[in-house]
A and B are shown apart, each in its own frame.
Chain A
Amino acid sequence: MELQLEKKDRAILARISGEIDLAVADHLRSALERGLDDHAGVRNIVVNLSGVKYIDSSGLGVLLGRYKRVSRDGGSIFIVGASPPVRKIIEMSGLLRIMRECPSEEDALNQAG
């Protein structure tokens, strides 16, 4: 898995690629937590999954944990670019009912920033 984190106004943009499972969940969790810790004004996370080939419940748990954190301050997670198999897993988990799915990174940043 590869992760690029960037601060954009009041949001963190996380571009993730590769496979998200138990082997990388801790690393992804720590990196996102650090991103939130380092930028006090940030309320939203834009997660660009266009490079993600695989995700399972370990990865979904990381997203849910960060959602719980940002939603306490009125923030949210914006999901972008999930491929059909990845989107199917996220949808089945129910996360799409609480997070926001956007058609593009630009659109997500406009809403989140």
Chain B
Amino acid sequence: MEPVNRMKTEFTSLPANVAFARVAAASFASQLDFTINDLEEIKVAVSEAVTNAIVHGYEGRADRTVALTVAISKDTLEIVVEDAGKGIEDLERAMQPAYSTDPERMGLGFAFMQSFSDQLKVDTGPGAGTRVTMTKVCTRKINASPGH
């Protein structure tokens, strides 16, 4: 994807920053003509990715860094959430709905990310961190263009 507009932010792996990340991503995404419903779905997808980074990638440690990149190219939104945490050993298993290592969690993070994006890609490995890339196409026309 050739980005025409891009933002990147890094933040500490604190639970309070989950809300920051979803609001920042949805605000940026609103430059495309997404519906309110689409923006709500984007918020959930970003929250789930950032929550996974904090809870699983960093195992709750609050002194690490999560990176959020959002790019708009024509009618396509690309969201990347990256951590440098422990990575996912068995990705296929982790992506199964209702799979969770924690009885207090529903194991629906990846299911929501999948449902609320057109494409979901996860690059991960033991000790290699996790990079989640979600793309979503806006079927309505673009509001903003480069240079404006």
Which A residues form the contact surface with B (CB < 8 A)? 19, 21-23, 25, 29, 54, 56-58, 60-62, 64-65, 68, 85, 89, 92-94
Interface of B is mostly: helix
Cβ of B92 within 8 Å of any chain A Cβ, yes or no, is no
Complex CA gap A85/B42 in Å reads: 12
Number of A-B residue pairs, CB cutoff 8 Å, is 59
B108 contacts A54, CB within 8 Å? no
- Chain B contacts for A56, CB-based, 8 A: 44, 47-48, 51, 112
Interface of A is mostly: helix
Which residue of chain A has the shortest Cβ distance to B50 in the bound complex?
A22
B104 touches A57 (CB 8 A): no
In whole angstroms, what is the CA distance A19 to B47 when docked? 12
- Bitwise, B67-80 to A at CB < 8 A (1) or not (0) is 00000000000000
* Complex: chain A residue closest to B110, CB-CB: A57
Question: At the interface with chain A, which of B12-20, B121-129, B138-146?
Answer: B12-20
Query: In the assembled complex, how far is the CB of residue A58 from the closest CB belonging to chain B, in whole angstroms?
Result: 6
* B18 close to A22 (CB less than 8 A): yes
Inter-subunit contact A85/B105 (CB<8 Å): no
